Structure 1
Amino acid sequence: MKKLLIAFFIFAFPIIALCQSFTQPVQLNWETYYKGKPTPGSPFYALTAMTWHYSYESTVYRNKVVIKLKNEVNIDKGRSWVRWDKIQNESIRASLLHHEQGHVNIQFILLMEADRVLKNRTYSVQNYKAEIAEMANSISDFYDTMQKNYDEETEHGSNHKMQARWDDIIQEKMEEATANQ
């Protein structure tokens, strides 16, 4: 049996926070997920640290690779922080948390897609480790780009028109991801 572990970190304002099941993304709140101290000099109002881990056990049966996948996303609460002095207004807090939830939902989509793709692929006996790693890296890169586009296009949640557009996109992708499971 072989095991492989990969960690995926995202740090930016406002980025991801979650520890979730396969049924729905975690619903964020400031008190639970933001325990760290703000990075001095950071221009951001919040930072959420998250890791994506996958590992697998593999067996070869009749010249076919079968993998048992473990796939999870976790919040690093100690490295996630918020600048309370910058978000004292309740509507700003709610808006920022809503934007953060969008990041969580994108990571939920990543989790579901990684689970679907990595489990349902046919791998070669000779090269399956590299094939799994390549596919996982490709999925990670795709969703990292999606996270960056989300922040850029919504201007970190401050462009409400684009935030609403992204809310629709994310909801649609979440429905697709859960329908494919």
Structure 2
Amino acid sequence: MKTRLIALLFLLALLCTFAFKQDFTQSVQLNWETHFKGKADMRSPFFALTAMTWRYSYESTVYRNRVAIKLKNDVSIDKTRSWVKWDKIKDPEIRASLLHHEQGHADIQYILLLEAERVLKNRNYSVTSYKAQISELANQISDYFDTMQRNYDEETEHGSNHKMQARWDDIIQDKIEESRTAMAELQK
């Protein structure tokens, strides 16, 4: 479990070539053939790894003691670093269950995308320290969702605890709806 966690955190931190850019309408729907092209880590006790990264950048304008930012915010899946041990998931039920669990990771990243958009865009920043403020908020968001990813894996036992997986499915769906609602309110 620690090996997978370390690998996941390492991969989340890497900036590399990504398979696609995320939009705000829905979470990417993972599939084995498209998103898992990397070489499997045979030393890992796990059957799959989804490598994801959140990136943001912004342009700022200062006008009359106010800072306005134009945020660019995206989530990516790195298909060359995401892998699956095909020999371990020959059974269709195991294959579907594992993909469902990995989809939960992608859905959590989608929630991060929505929350980062909401939080980073809708703040009043100090003209003298807005760069540090934005950086601090982004770090807090990243830390929160890294913890959520770890908790998801630990509590579901990487998808093998079906009762906890169902509980997390509900948590994730509730968070998606909550984040979408919050964004819609801000756009009014």
Residue matched to 1:153: 155
Q: Which has the higher helix share?
A: 2
Alignment of 1:43-122 (within 5 A): 43-122=45-124
* Distance in 1 separating the partners of 2:131 and 2:29: 34
* Distance in 2 separating the partners of 1:52 and 1:93: 26
Aligned CA distance change for structure 1 residues 159 and 18 (closer, same or farther; 3 Å): farther
* Distance in 1 separating the partners of 2:20 and 2:124: 30
* 8 Å contact from structure 1 (residues 18, 104) kept in 2: no
* 8 Å contact from structure 2 (residues 108, 172) kept in 1: yes
* Distance in 1 separating the partners of 2:63 and 2:157: 50
Q: Structure 2: which 5+ runs fail to align?
A: 1-9, 14-18, 184-188
Q: Secondary structure at the match of 1:118?
A: helix
Aligned CA distance change for structure 1 residues 9 and 62 (closer, same or farther; 3 Å): farther
Aligned residues: 169
TM-score, length-scaled by structure 1: 0.90
* Distance in 1 separating the partners of 2:145 and 2:94: 26
* 8 Å contact from structure 1 (residues 106, 147) kept in 2: yes
CA RMSD of aligned residues (A): 1.5
Aligned CA distance change for structure 1 residues 38 and 86 (closer, same or farther; 3 Å): same
Residue matched to 2:16: none
Deviation string, structure 1 residues 42-70 (Cα, Å, up to 9, x no partner): 11111111111100000101110100000
Letter of the 1:126 counterpart: T
Residue matched to 1:31: 33
Candidates 155, 162, 177, aligned match of 2:164: 162
* 8 Å contact from structure 1 (residues 18, 50) kept in 2: no
Residue matched to 1:3: none
* Distance in 2 separating the partners of 1:106 and 1:9: 16
Deviates more, 1:41-50 or 1:107-116: 41-50
Q: Secondary structure at the match of 1:180?
A: helix
Letter of the 1:161 counterpart: K
Q: Structure 1: which 5+ runs fail to align?
A: 1-7, 12-16
Aligned CA distance change for structure 1 residues 73 and 171 (closer, same or farther; 3 Å): same
Q: Post-superposition shift, 1:18?
A: 7.2
Residue identity over aligned pairs, in percent, reads 72
Residue matched to 1:134: 136
Residue matched to 1:42: 44
Aligned CA distance change for structure 1 residues 77 and 42 (closer, same or farther; 3 Å): same
